């Protein structure tokens, strides 16, 4: 009884913090305290968090290296834009279409490729991501390589913020459950997992589809904030961007992915005028993290209340 | 009444027969040993029963149903669990999570329950945890539940593997050299544990073992495999005095 | 135009049409051969490195790019001829390949293949953007004076001295490579390490040295291919290694990764396939075809045309 009461208080406290954070930024935007520069970076940050957390579900927790995340983002972006700009539907329909289309793409690509292992899977997903891009370049309906311009700005702070929170919640809830343990067992030892009754193919596909779905969501949000999308935006360098965040944060740590996404967004903003240096830094991050700290900043640990208590000397 | 019946099972790798016309049966609640010189094909038999390999021909009937060629997770769902010769734990996960994963096939809540954290999820998680703890208690690992599997000493890793296999709630438990690398004291304790879980869970047990004291001590019936073929079958006493068996083993020692 | 049509109004019109189709076909084949030779040279490096340390050296295409730039500067700054440029590029890239392996890949030899692949991706980005940082992102025109274009017309086929140069030097390099692998002690060591590294150590083979030599040879071949790309397309830029690199990788997988003759065959197949797709189909799909081929092989026969299946041991 005592324990469940404690849980409730904690739960309410957490909701309060999330709402307070939301309200504070909302106030800052309406009061004009955040200029366009900060709003753009804030949006990039939230989108990057969605991308990193969802890719980490595939690469970190399931242990299946995917290099095609930008492809799913593209599917989401284009689906949403077709709904809102070409068919005149509301943004909500656009977002749903983005998630559904990306999830379907994830399923179609995942079922055949997830039979492959390790580096072969990585290359196959990279190839699929590039095929999505090339196909988009050849569809006249969405203007081919020129892309779609003048997309209305529908990604407001509430949509963005709560999309990000939902993504994190779904991934965290999924991982901390029997289904999540099944997913992680695939990473640990696929053969042993299969012999302990886990349908490994099924859980690989589930993780892949959910990851793809949120990449689609990120694509929809991206398209409706930055006015323009073209196939080139979603090439494999974009997938590598997301990979850098996941690797830096630690394969298999959601909090790590979030922290790394924030850091990388800030780094990108700071080095906006020096794109080459930014990419050199990305490259060095990948190499140095793999050599000296392959588990990333956080390893597969989460930064949670327990960590907080330990660091600040709190007692249970 | 027969629990597991294998008939004319064949498997070859690159033209070399690993298992040849293998015939075999297990009655419910039996404890049977499968022995033989190194490379006789014992582990291959286990891999065929549990679905890691697909047999070239032959049938494997478990509980009256054909299971040859099914996927491993399907065979596990029918009630066969196993351990591995070279321990295969989920190394970077805790002892508790290792056992919980094996309970996943009976997960008491649905996918949507998980995402929305319904009351059913919490009560289900509680039940999974209690079940897992019960197995850890039996195998005397409850004090180590939060340690990573890879940090356990060798003997405890072996025990954890059996605990994990038990968490899948099998009717047939297959142990691949459970006492390998254990000292005599640990082996004796393991023998008692195996007897205990057999009684408590109405288990049928099939084991491969090189430690003859363990095999002769606990097994009710023994099969001897050499070059992929059964060369003898019978009670421990009969096997001990079987000429062909002695030859097979002596032959190995001479080489 | 009019005279051309008038010429075609001769009694053997139909026949002539067929000949034209045949000529067109053979012409595409010839064009594909020189492109294929380039891919084959790059694919060899992929396949040798994979054979010996099970790593997809993602940076391999970028080593080719560095080779192209070394060749470019050797011609423009040092005024060498094309053959010397190629030799300089090969030496420079051999050193580069050895350094990359020592600095980035060797520390990861004990870790997972995924970790090694991520490092290789990092190395690829590093080479690309370091080049952009140092030399700027603009493309550079390969000096025409180094290689004056000559066209030959043989039985209606158009063959340039570029094609001849590329194919001849590629074949020469492949013969040298075959000689090294089959006849020399180094080659035997390379094959031994790729079959069983531990046994090779017991036989007194220095694994580190053998891996270094493999990287040196693979990178030198890529550098030669880089100079050929410069000759073939006339322009070079810091990101030029990505697409040919990926296509050469597909070639290596097609032939069965780790198998040297497979990479040669795979390279020529990819080159010919590509010229046929852009010749007869849409050039927009040119790059997608390579990826489509890759996915088809990975799904149907991941071990490639010449590979053997090996099961996982439990």
Enumerate domains of chain C plus CATH numbers.
29-300 (1.10.3470)
Please indicate whether, in this complex, the C-beta atoms of C314 and B13 are within 8 angstroms of each other.
no
Distance (Å) from the alpha carbon of B102 to chain A's nearest alpha carbon: 5
pLDDT for the residue numbered B254: 42
- Closest residue on chain A to C125 (Cα): A283
Enumerate domains of chain A plus CATH numbers.
7-311 (1.10.3470)
pLDDT for the residue numbered B252: 54
Question: B157 in a domain, yes or no?
Answer: no
Question: B36 in a domain, yes or no?
Answer: yes
* DSSP helix/strand/coil, B31: strand
Q: What is the pLDDT of residues A226-274, one digit of tens each?
A: 999 999 999 989 999 999 999 999 888 999 999 999 999 999 999 988 9
pLDDT for the residue numbered A146: 93
Please indicate whether, in this complex, the C-beta atoms of A286 and C137 are within 8 angstroms of each other.
no
Beta bridge partners of A148: A229
Chain position carrying tokens 């072996």: B158
* DSSP helix/strand/coil, B63: coil
Query: pTM of this prediction?
Result: 0.90
pLDDT for the residue numbered C311: 46
The Cα–Cα gap between A162 and B72 comes to 41
**Ranges under pLDDT 50 in chain A:** 1, 312-316
Question: B69 in a domain, yes or no?
Answer: yes
Q: Would the pLDDT of C10 be above 50?
A: no
User: C173: pLDDT confidence band, cut at 50, 70 and 90?
Assistant: very high
**Torsion from C-alpha of C167, C173, C174, C180, nearest 10 degrees:** 170
The Cα–Cα gap between C162 and C234 comes to 11
Q: What is the pLDDT of residues C278-292, one digit of tens each?
A: 877 776 777 788 888
pLDDT for the residue numbered C8: 45
Q: What is the pLDDT of residues B173-182, one digit of tens each?
A: 999 999 888 8
Q: Would the pLDDT of C86 be above 90?
A: yes
- Closest residue on chain A to C295 (Cα): A124
Q: Which of B12, B16, B48, B52 to mutate to test the interface with C (most CBs of C within 10 A)?
A: B52
- The CATH number that applies at residue B234 is 3.40.50.300
Question: B224 in a domain, yes or no?
Answer: yes
In sequence order, what are the residues at sequence separation of 6 or more whose Cβ sits closer than 8 angstroms to the Cβ of residue B78? Answer: B62, B63, B65, B67, B70
pLDDT for the residue numbered C312: 47
Determine how many CB atoms are found less than 10 A away from the CB of residue C12. 10
- Listed by number, the residues of chain A in 165-184 with a beta carbon closer than 8 Å to a beta carbon of chain B are 170, 173-174, 177-182, 184
pLDDT for the residue numbered B15: 79
Question: B16 in a domain, yes or no?
Answer: yes
Q: How many domains does chain B have?
A: 1
**Ranges under pLDDT 70 in chain B:** 250-255
Question: B99 in a domain, yes or no?
Answer: no
Asked if C148 has any chain B CB less than 8 Å from its own CB, the reply is no
pLDDT for the residue numbered A200: 95
Listed in order, strand segments (DSSP E) in A29-183 are: none
ipTM of this predicted complex? 0.90
Alpha helices in A176-274 (DSSP H): 178-188, 190-195, 200-223, 236-249, 254-270
pLDDT for the residue numbered B5: 95
pLDDT for the residue numbered B60: 96
pLDDT for the residue numbered C3: 42
pLDDT for the residue numbered A89: 95
Q: What is the mean pLDDT of chain A?
A: 91
Is residue C279 within a helix (H) or strand (E), and if so which, with residue range? helix C260-280
The Cα–Cα gap between B182 and B193 comes to 14
Q: What is the mean pLDDT of chain C?
A: 87
The answer to whether residues A261 and A249 touch, using CB atoms and an 8 Å cutoff, is yes
Please indicate whether, in this complex, the C-beta atoms of A291 and C107 are within 8 angstroms of each other.
yes
Stretch C133-147: mean pLDDT: 87
pLDDT for the residue numbered C22: 82
The Cα–Cα gap between A43 and A37 comes to 10
Stretch C237-250: mean pLDDT: 92
Distance (Å) from the alpha carbon of C242 to chain A's nearest alpha carbon: 11
pLDDT for the residue numbered A50: 98
Beta bridge partners of B204: B172
* DSSP helix/strand/coil, C223: helix
The Cα–Cα gap between A34 and A269 comes to 15
Domain of B63 in residue numbering reads as 4-79+170-254
Task: Select from A17, A18, A13 the least CA-distant residue to A165.
Answer: A18
């Amino acid at each position: 009884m005592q324990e469940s009461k404690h849980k409730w208080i904690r739960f309410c406290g957490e909701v309060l913090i999330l709402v307070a954070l939301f309200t504070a930024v909302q106030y800052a935007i309406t009061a004009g305290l955040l200029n366009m520069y900060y709003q753009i970076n804030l949006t990039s940050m939230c989108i990057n968090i969605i991308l990193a957390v969802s890719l980490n579900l595939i690469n970190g927790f399931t242990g299946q290296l995917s290099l095609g995340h930008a492809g799913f983002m593209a599917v989401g972006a284009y689906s949403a834009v077709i709904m809102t700009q070409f068919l005149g539907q509301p943004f909500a329909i656009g977002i749903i279409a983005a998630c559904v289309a990306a999830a379907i793409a994830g399923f179609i690509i995942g079922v055949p490729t997830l039979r492959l292992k390790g580096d072969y899977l990585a290359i196959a997903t990279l190839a699929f991501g590039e095929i999505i891009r090339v196909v988009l370049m050849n569809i006249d309906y969405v203007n081919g390589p020129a892309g779609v311009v003048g997309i209305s700005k529908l990604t407001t702070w509430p949509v963005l913020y709560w999309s990000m929170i939902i993504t994190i919640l779904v991934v965290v809830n999924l991982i901390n459950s029997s289904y999540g343990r099944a997913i992680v067992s695939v990473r640990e030892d696929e053969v042993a997992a299969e012999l302990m009754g886990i349908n490994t193919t099924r859980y690989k596909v589930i993780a892949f589809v959910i990851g793809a779905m949120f990449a689609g969501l990120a694509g929809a949000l991206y398209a409706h904030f930055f006015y323009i999308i073209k196939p080139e935006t979603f090439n494999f360098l974009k997938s590598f961007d997301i990979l850098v965040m996941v690797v830096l944060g630690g394969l298999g740590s959601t909090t790590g992915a979030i922290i790394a996404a924030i850091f990388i967004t800030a780094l990108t903003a700071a080095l906006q005028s020096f794109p080459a240096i930014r990419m050199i830094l990305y490259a060095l991050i990948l190499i140095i993290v793999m050599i000296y700290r392959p588990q990333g900043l956080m390893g597969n640990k989460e930064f949670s209340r327990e960590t907080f208590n330990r660091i600040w000397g709190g007692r249970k | 009444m027969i629990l597991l019946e294998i008939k004319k099972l064949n498997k070859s790798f690159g033209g070399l027969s690993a298992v040849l016309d293998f015939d075999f049966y297990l009655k419910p609640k039996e404890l049977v040993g499968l022995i033989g010189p190194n490379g006789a094909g014992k582990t291959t038999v286990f891999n065929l029963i549990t679905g890691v390999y697909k047999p070239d021909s032959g049938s494997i009937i478990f509980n009256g149903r054909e299971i040859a060629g099914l996927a491993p997770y399907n065979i596990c769902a029918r009630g066969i669990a196993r351990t591995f010769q070279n321990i295969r734990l989920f190394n970077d996960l805790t002892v508790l999570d290792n056992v919980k994963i094996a309970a996943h096939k009976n997960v008491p809540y649905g996918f949507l329950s998980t995402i929305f954290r319904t009351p059913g999820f919490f009560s289900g998680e509680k039940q999974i945890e209690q079940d897992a703890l019960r197995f850890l208690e039996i195998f005397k690992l409850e004090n180590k539940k939060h340690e990573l599997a890879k940090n356990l000493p060798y003997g405890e890793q072996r025990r954890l593997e059996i605990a994990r296999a038990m968490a899948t709630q099998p009717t047939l438990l297959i142990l691949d050299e459970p006492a390998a690398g254990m000292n005599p004291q640990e082996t004796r304790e393991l023998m008692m544990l195996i007897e205990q879980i057999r009684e408590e869970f109405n288990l049928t047990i099939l084991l491969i073992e090189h430690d003859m004291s363990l095999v002769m001590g606990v097994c009710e019936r023994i099969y001897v495999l050499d070059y992929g073929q059964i060369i003898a079958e019978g009670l421990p006493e009969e096997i001990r005095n079987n000429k062909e068996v002695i030859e097979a083993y002596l032959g190995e020692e001479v080489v | 135009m009019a005279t051309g049509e008038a010429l075609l109004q001769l009694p053997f019109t139909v026949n002539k049409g067929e000949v034209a189709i045949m000529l067109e076909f053979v012409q595409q084949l010839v064009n594909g051969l020189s492109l294929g030779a380039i891919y084959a040279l790059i694919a060899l490096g992929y396949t040798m490195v994979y054979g010996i340390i099970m790593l997809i050296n993602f940076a391999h295409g970028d080593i080719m790019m560095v080779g192209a730039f070394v060749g470019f500067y050797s011609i423009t700054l040092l005024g060498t001829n094309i053959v010397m440029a190629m030799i300089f590029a090969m030496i420079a890239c051999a050193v580069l390949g050895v350094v990359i392996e020592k600095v980035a890949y060797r520390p990861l030899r004990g870790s997972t293949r995924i970790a090694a692949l991520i490092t290789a991706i990092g190395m690829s980005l590093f080479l690309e953007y370091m080049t952009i940082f140092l030399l700027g992102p603009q493309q550079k025109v390969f000096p025409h004076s180094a290689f004056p274009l000559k066209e030959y017309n043989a039985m209606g086929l158009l063959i340039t001295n570029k094609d001849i140069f590329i194919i001849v030097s590629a074949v020469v390099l492949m013969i040298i490579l075959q000689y090294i692998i089959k006849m020399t002690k180094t080659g035997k060591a390379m094959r031994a390490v790729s079959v069983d590294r531990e046994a090779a150590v017991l036989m007194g083979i220095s694994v580190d040295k053998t891996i270094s030599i493999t990287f040196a040879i693979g990178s030198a071949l890529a550098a030669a291919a880089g100079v050929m790309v410069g000759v073939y397309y006339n322009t070079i830029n810091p990101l030029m290694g990505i697409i040919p690199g990926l296509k050469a990788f597909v070639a290596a997988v097609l032939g069965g990764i780790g198998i040297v003759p497979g990479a040669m065959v795979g390279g020529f197949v990819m080159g010919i396939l590509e010229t046929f797709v852009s010749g007869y189909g849409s050039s927009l799909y040119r790059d997608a075809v390579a990826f489509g081929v890759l996915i088809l092989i990975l799904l149907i026969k991941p071990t490639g045309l010449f590979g053997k299946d090996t099961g996982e041991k439990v």
